[in-house]
């Protein structure tokens, strides 16, 4: 329990903007001076394509689901809209066309694990470098994230995103 709380506390501190994760030291080589160490370590091909987080199987979108999208819209307005708009860049990037750029699984992992993603995933790190504001964890369940994904998917057909 203590360890879990410690991890959560560390995660929380990081979200508050206190710096990157602990670098892993490379071993086995003799060095005159320490080499630069990248945060995060190696990612799998799945993680590179679909992101790092609780969703570890590719999401199958299936038939469009208006009801699910409506539930997702409510959550988006409550928890996401403070930083994201569909058509324009705001605190973070516009999301109306996010599925043109990312896989559905990547989008869900970004919603569910923003701290881990911005620490370890090269694409998420690049977005953070551009926008500068780290994405906060908004405590979504996997089901809630799926509904927000459906909202973004259906909204994409209705908006004209400015880049």
Give the binding site for another protein (CB under 8 A).
1-2, 5-6, 8-9, 12-13, 15-17, 77-79, 81-83, 90-91, 132-134, 136-139
Which residues in 88-105 are b (16+ Cβ under 10 Å) and which e?
eebebbbbbbbbeebebb
Comparing CB distances to another protein, the nearer of 50 and 127 is 127
Smallest gap from Cβ 13 to another protein, in A, equals: 8
Comparing CB distances to another protein, the nearer of 13 and 35 is 13
Please tell me the distance from the alpha carbon of residue 147 to that of residue 21, in angstroms, as a whole number.
Answer: 30
Comparing CB distances to another protein, the nearer of 59 and 90 is 90
Comparing CB distances to another protein, the nearer of 59 and 81 is 81
Smallest gap from Cβ 92 to another protein, in A, equals: 11
Helix (H, G, I), strand (E, B) or coil at 27: coil
Smallest gap from Cβ 93 to another protein, in A, equals: 15
DSSP secondary structure, 73-140, as one string: HHHIIIIITTT--SSS-SSS---TTHHHHS-HHHHHHHHH-HHHHHHH-HHHHHHHHHH-SPPPP---
Smallest gap from Cβ 81 to another protein, in A, equals: 5
């Amino acid at each position: 329990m203590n360890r879990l709380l410690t991890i959560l506390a560390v995660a929380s501190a990081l979200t508050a903007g206190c710096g990157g994760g602990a670098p892993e030291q490379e071993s086995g080589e003799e060095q005159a001076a320490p080499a630069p160490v990248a945060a995060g370590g190696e990612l799998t091909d799945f993680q590179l394509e679909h992101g790092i987080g609780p969703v570890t199987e590719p999401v199958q979108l299936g038939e469009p689901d208006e009801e699910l999208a409506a539930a997702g819209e409510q959550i988006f307005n409550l928890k996401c809209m403070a930083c994201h708009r569909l058509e324009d860049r705001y605190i973070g990037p516009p999301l109306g066309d996010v599925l043109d750029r990312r896989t559905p699984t990547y989008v869900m992992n970004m919603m569910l694990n923003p701290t881990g993603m911005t620490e370890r995933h090269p694409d998420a790190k690049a977005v953070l470098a551009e926008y500068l504001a780290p994405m906060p964890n908004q405590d979504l369940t996997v089901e809630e994230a799926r509904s927000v994904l459906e909202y973004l998917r259906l909204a994409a057909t209705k908006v004209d995103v400015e880049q």
